[in-house]
Structure 1
């Protein structure tokens, strides 16, 4: 009975349920607060490079397996786009979380940045709202915004490219 009074608000079943929610929804973290009790459960997912590489590698396989002539036609079209896509992927800054993107600080304001604009390391590029918290996504290094790859109020997944920094 001595251990029950020392931890009156912690319910192991609740923590297990939160962990199950993370697995079922592929969220990276979840927080619950009830009165003075505050529980945060988080997990680390594989590197975004793996997440991006899987769909790109998987898409051509079914086309090539379907029939030889369409595969040749399909292979010719992506070959022309392969260099820009590879350059875009190399310069892309990916989402560190699941949430909703906002390109401006409030609905009446201008976007944080525009394509072609120079930024310094740490400048806010956009916000991602996750669990009613606005998380600033900043420039990881100095450069120019090449392209905004997401739209305002667009939902994003973990590892999804947000913008390019050249």
Structure 2
């Protein structure tokens, strides 16, 4: 197998062109060898959805928040997420939720599931009582310590 000489100067010049022009990839072919330099556009991909998505929900949330009572994770009946993941209210898609507002529950009953790293973690009720409010939406991402529901 013939050795392939790497032309480091050519790669640097192509990388410089990518920086100057904002391209994500560039390819050079002189008939004997071909060099392709590419960069992932992670930053651009991340910025675009945030820019497009951020203004739309803001008016909706501002209109909805004054009507809803202010709840936080310090509420005596607060059930918070023990991990970062995705919250699911039922055991599988299309099935009924584990609990609904107004349901009586016992300590240890499964309230919902938080999926973290492809592991489904059942979140048990820390105490018995009545489900007063479900704060999290099915399939929504949750952070550690985020309020999930209120049980009184």
1:146 matched to 2:136? The reply is: no
What is aligned with 2:6? none
Q: Following TM superposition, where does structure 1 have runs of at least 4 consecutive aligned residues deviating by more than 3 angstroms?
A: 84-88
Q: How does the TM-score come out when normalised to structure 1?
A: 0.48
Cα distance change, pair 133–86 in 1 and its aligned pair in 2 (3 A): closer
Shift of 1:164: 0.3
> Which of these residues, 115, 120, 131, is aligned with residue 129 of structure 1?
115
Shift of 1:86: 6.8
Q: How many residues align?
A: 86
- Matches of 2:141 and 2:73, distance apart in 1: 24
Q: How does the TM-score come out when normalised to structure 2?
A: 0.52
Cα distance change, pair 136–143 in 1 and its aligned pair in 2 (3 A): same
Q: Deviations over 1:21-77 (max 9, x none)?
A: xxxxxxxxxxxxxxxxxxxxxxxxxxxxxxxxxxxxxxxxxxxxxxxxxxxxxxxxx
1:164 matched to 2:150? The reply is: yes
For residues 1-166 of structure 1, the aligned pairs below 5 Å read: 85=71, 89-166=75-152
- Matches of 1:94 and 1:85, distance apart in 2: 12
Shift of 1:90: 2.1
Cα distance change, pair 164–127 in 1 and its aligned pair in 2 (3 A): same
Cα distance change, pair 117–98 in 1 and its aligned pair in 2 (3 A): same
Cα distance change, pair 94–86 in 1 and its aligned pair in 2 (3 A): closer
Contact 1:88 1:164 (C-alpha < 8 Å) held by counterparts: no
Ranges in structure 2 where 5+ consecutive residues have no aligned partner: 1-65
Q: Deviations over 1:106-136 (max 9, x none)?
A: 1121000000100011100000000000000
User: In angstroms, what is the RMSD of aligned CA positions?
Assistant: 2.3
- Matches of 1:88 and 1:158, distance apart in 2: 14
- Matches of 2:71 and 2:90, distance apart in 1: 27
